[in-house]
Chain A
Amino acid sequence: MSSTSTTATYQPATKVGRITDFVDSRVGGSSMVKEFGRKIFPDHWTFMFGEVALYSFVILLLSGTFLTFFFDPSMAETHYDGSYVPLKGVEMSVAYASSLDISFDIRGGLFMRQVHHWSALLFVAAVSVHMLRVFFTGAFRRPRELNWVVGGVLLILAMAAGFTGYSLPDDLLSGNGLRIIDGVIKSVPVVGTYISFFLFGGEFPGTDIIGRLYVLHILLIPAIILLMIAIHLFMVVVHKHTQYPGPGRTNDNVVGFPVGPVYAAKAGGFFFIVFGIIAFISAAFTINPIWNYGPYDPSPVSAGTQPDWYIGWVDGALRLMPGWLGSFPFEWEIPFPWGTNTLSLNVLLPALVPAGIVFTLLFTWPWIERWITKDNREHHLLDRPRNAPGRTAVGVAGVVFYCVMWAAASSDLIATHFSVSLNDVTYWLRVLFFLGPVLGFIITRRIALALQRKDREIALHGRETGRIVRLPHGEYIEVHEPLDDYKLYKLVSYDAPMTVPAEADRNGHISKSEKRRAMISRFLFEDRVAPVTPAELEEAHSHGHQDQLATDADNAAVVEKH
């Protein structure tokens, strides 16, 4: 009954059967179930962060819909008359008043607001961790480069959704955030002021911005996110899921469980687990207590004003930027025939350059890596991060770069909570901004190579048991225990990228970019731990496991490296 041709002859016996057959013969559902229900997915906990992101998004849609029933995005002035005493009679916008009403005067409103905000934080966090997993395991390689790009777009959209939502209550905290955005926009040379006036409908803050952000937040951005998720998942189905190397897992198969019934049940259950975690957090921990901050008013700025975590790194970059470098100013007044224009590099550079670097590298990395390694093969088997020391080191350098800026966004809290000087925190983070990624790169690569060497030792000579045995002729040895085949497979089956020297083109000419590529390739892959070959394994085992002497092991390691 999977295709329409057979339904003509199929006679359902029961009433339910007749209804089902009626629907199926018109919708073709059974063939879809047959196709997708037998789809195999591999099982590993690190594969589930994308799922967490998806579920958080569903929770966002549900809780957000509830909030739209009661939220009024108007910036008209009103006097608060709700039940929260410390704001009684205070002049504020209708948007802020309705957010307070949701929090204090609508049954379940505060809980739903907190569900919405906590799941927003979890959504972006899950997207980020998912992307880190994809990066460090090399899952972005052919044929999945475009899906990586779609993922990057989703990350940006998630941040945009978060920021537009964060601003909606029109409280003091988010208003300060909007003012920073306004400052960044105004720092764009020549057109900045015009863009700012266009966006805010006049001088900041105006009376338009909340309504405009609301339309973006509840209509445009979620619609694009949904579209991107559809494309993302479609490509996952087309490409099939990647898997970690293991016995029986090849580049041409997927080892795991079918969607139906195993994953359908697991994923459905997992949705409720994520929902449960968010609901528990929302019930027990407050988030964005807008009643503390008061209505937005351009004059007060509270201490400890920060954006939500995913915008924090940009805020941190702004905090790290000096206005002057010695006697060199970052703000210039440039005379033009029509008057003086100000170029505020002290705002423009930190707001755009670090984010520009991070996102450019993020989007182009699959092509950069392909260009360096000249590896254009399809990869359905993942790398363990240690087995790609160059990529892992680049990734950690990026993470350190991000985290330094992230930490800078909470420099004031670091200062008060660890009793250090705010100025010193800023100076140290400025140093780390440049030095941190370099150190991160070097240390990570050394650690990855060391782990590979350790794997190689264990593969060849087995695990050190700590059991010391004295031989008849008086010598002491430590007994090594060989690995079982499954564990051994994990340690020996991987590709170790090698330096690809510069190659001449058809005319025998080596172009400059090719030389540069060869240089990078040498830099990344010169130090390399080769995977254990079957011959080496055979040789190591022919020694007999019991007789592995420390000197043998040392010799082997020296020979292997050079």
Chain B
Amino acid sequence: MKALSQRRRHPMAAIALLLLGLLVTGGLYAVASTANEAKAETTYSASDIAEGEKLFVANCATCHGMGASGTDDGPSLVGVGAASVDFQVGTGRMPLQMSGPQAMEKPNQFTEEQTAQLSAYVASLGAGPGIPDEEYLEHEGLEAEEIAEGGEIFRVNCAMCHNAAAAGGALTRGKFAPGLADVSEKHIYEAMATGPQNMPVFNDANITPEDKKKVIGFLKTIESQGSPGGADLGSLGPVSEGLFIWVAGLGAVIGFTVWLTSRSS
């Protein structure tokens, strides 16, 4: 310890410390990011990749560039992984319909096979999150407690943008977090893993695949159970309730007051 304390004022001490810090951070990041790497090592055939490249050149390269290396109009797709392509193309967000605050959902432009081929091609360019295993999407067997845990994870991580009832919400400058009803299990998983648009990435170190499955289970439970108290008015909270009482509630009351006073005068 004495040697260390004597050398702490050495001219190289700061540099050594910096190096050490960088090494530790980098090493930790490497460990952490491998945790995020695709679990599903689906092997794509060479023909899938070749077909995918053809589709990519014809439909995507205008913005994303040849070899998906990116242009001024679109980011590089090297290393985004198959999950990202499957989500963006599978929900119709890509190819982009028009420039705007964010890519909008629209009818799917490609068949499932073509989507898989595109995914195969992009996945072949660099490692990234893969398409999730079926076991993380099959939420039917979850216990009530696990679904409730998924709800807690959802409220802590997702509800600030997507709303506690998953009805969606506004972000800045025209961007928004969409409502999550009718989104497939696979796409929910892929969105968490890849963080499309303005969504942050919730990698496997952050929310484990098992926890992602619980979140999916929670979302599907509240979607399928309906609204226990009657029509949910869009699950938008007090604004739609206030609007309803002023328009429908007071409207009905006024109708009756007019009726009650119309006979006598």
Chain A contacts to B: CB under 8 angstroms: 43-49, 52, 80, 84-90, 103-104, 110, 114, 118, 121-122, 125-126, 129, 172-173, 257, 262, 266, 269-270, 273-274, 277-278, 281-289, 291-294, 297, 299-309, 312, 409-413, 415-416, 419-423
Which single residue of chain B is at the shortest CB-CB distance from A80?
A: B148
Considering only residues 93-111 of chain B, those with a C-beta below 8 Å from chain A are: 101
Q: Which of B165, B171, B245, B249 contacts A422 (CB 8 A)?
A: B171
Query: Interface segment, B21-29, B38-46, B76-84, B172-180?
Result: B172-180
Contacts of B225 in A (CB 8 A): 85-86
In the bound complex, what is the Cα–Cα distance between A114 and B241 (angstroms)? 11
A85 pairs with B147, CB closer than 8 A: yes
Question: Does more than half of chain B's interface fall in helix, strand or loop, or is it mixed?
Answer: helix
B261 at the interface (CB under 8 A from A): yes
Is B139 located at the chain interface by the 8 A CB criterion? no
Contact indicator B246/A48 (Cβ below 8 Å): no
Complex contacts, A262 vs chain B, CB 8 Å: 264
Interface centre among A125, A285, A410, A422 (most CB of B within 10 A): A285
- Known contacts A52-B253, A85-B221; is A309 also within 8 Å of B155 by CB? no
Known: A46-B257, A286-B227, A421-B174. 12 other contacts (CB 8 A): A48-B257, A85-B148, A114-B230, A122-B250, A303-B164, A308-B238, A312-B239, A410-B239, A411-B170, A413-B170, A420-B174, A422-B170
Q: How far is the CA of A4 from the CA of B253 in the complex (A)?
A: 43
The answer to whether A292 and B164 touch across the interface, beta carbons within 8 angstroms, is yes
Q: Is the CB of B260 within 8 A of A270?
A: yes
Given contacts A284-B230, A303-B162, contact A292 B222 (CB under 8 A): yes
Residues of A within 8 A of B238 (CB): 173, 288, 306-309, 312
**Given A48-B260, A125-B250, A423–B229 Cβ distance below 8 Å?**
no
CB nearest neighbor in B for A262: B264
Question: Which residues 248-265 of B have a CB within 8 angstroms of A?
Answer: 248-250, 252-254, 256-258, 260-262, 264-265
Task: Report the 8 A-B pairs with minimum CB-CB distance, sorted nearest first.
Answer: A303-B169, A309-B242, A286-B229, A412-B170, A88-B144, A302-B164, A45-B257, A421-B174
Closest chain-B Cβ to A86's Cβ sits at a distance in Å of: 5
Chain A contacts of B152 at CB under 8 A?
90, 294
Given contacts A266-B260, A306-B239, contact A90 B250 (CB under 8 A): no
User: CA A328 – CA B101 in complex, angstroms?
Assistant: 30
Enumerate 24 A-B pairs (CB-CB under 8 Å) in ascending A order.
Answer: A44-B265, A45-B261, A85-B225, A86-B221, A90-B148, A90-B149, A103-B229, A121-B245, A274-B253, A282-B230, A289-B229, A289-B235, A293-B165, A303-B161, A303-B162, A303-B169, A304-B169, A305-B237, A309-B238, A412-B170, A416-B170, A421-B172, A421-B174, A422-B171
Q: How far, in angstroms, from A86 to B226 measured CA to CA in the complex?
A: 12
Does B13 sit at the interface, judged by CB under 8 A? no
- In the bound complex, CA of A292 to CA of B218 (Å): 11
Are the CB atoms of B222 and A303 closer together than 8 Å? no
B73 at the interface (CB under 8 A from A): no
Query: In the assembled complex, which residues on chain B have CB atoms less than 8 Å from the CB atom of A283?
Result: 230
The answer, among B149, B156, B169, B170, for a CB contact under 8 Å with A300, is: B156
- Please state if B249 and A118 are interface contacts (CB–CB under 8 Å): yes
Instruction: Show the binding face of B for A, using Cβ within 8 Å.
Output: 101, 144-145, 147-149, 151-152, 155-156, 159-165, 167-174, 176-177, 218, 221-222, 225, 227-233, 235-239, 241-246, 248-250, 252-254, 256-258, 260-262, 264-265
The answer to whether A294 and B151 touch (CB under 8 A), given A302-B160, A302-B164, is yes
- Give which listed residue, B171, B228, B231, contacts A291 with CB less than 8 A: B228
In the complex, A416 Cα to B178 Cα: how many Å?
Answer: 9
User: Of B161, B168, B243, B249, which is within 8 A of A122 by CB?
Assistant: B249
Which residues of B are found within 8 Å of A300, using beta-carbon distances? 155-156, 159-160, 164
- Say whether B239 contacts A89, CB under 8 Å: no
Task: Report how far A47 CA is from B260 CA in the complex, Å.
Answer: 11
CB pair A303–B250 under 8 Å, yes or no, is no
Q: A45-B257, A309-B246 are in contact. Are A286 and B163 (CB under 8 A)?
A: no
Q: Are B237 and A43 in contact (CB under 8 A)?
A: no
Are B155's CB and A303's CB within 8 A? no
Contact B250 A129 (CB under 8 A): yes
Residues of chain B with a CB closer than 8 A to A309's CB: 238-239, 241-243, 245-246
Contact for B229 among A49, A114, A416, CB less than 8 A:
A114
CA distance A286 to B236 in the complex (A): 11
Inside 8 A of B257's CB, which chain A residues have their CB? Answer: 45-46, 48-49, 52, 270
Least CB distance, B41 to chain A, in whole angstroms? 34
Most buried by A among B164, B227, B244, B260: B164
Per the bound structure, the CA–CA distance linking A103 and B230 in Å amounts to: 12
A11–B150 Cα gap in the complex (Å)?
79
Instruction: Kindly report which residue of chain A lies nearest to residue B162, judged by CB atoms.
Output: A303
Complex: chain B residue closest to A51, CB-CB: B257
B237: chain A residues within 8 A (beta carbon): 173, 304-306
Q: Is the CB of B246 within 8 A of A281?
A: no
Q: Cβ of B144 and Cβ of A286 under 8 Å apart?
A: no
Distance to closest chain A CB from B145 (angstroms): 4
- Do B145 and A89 touch across chains, with their CB atoms under 8 A apart? yes
Known: A86-B221, A88-B145, A172-B155. A277 touches B249 (CB 8 A): yes
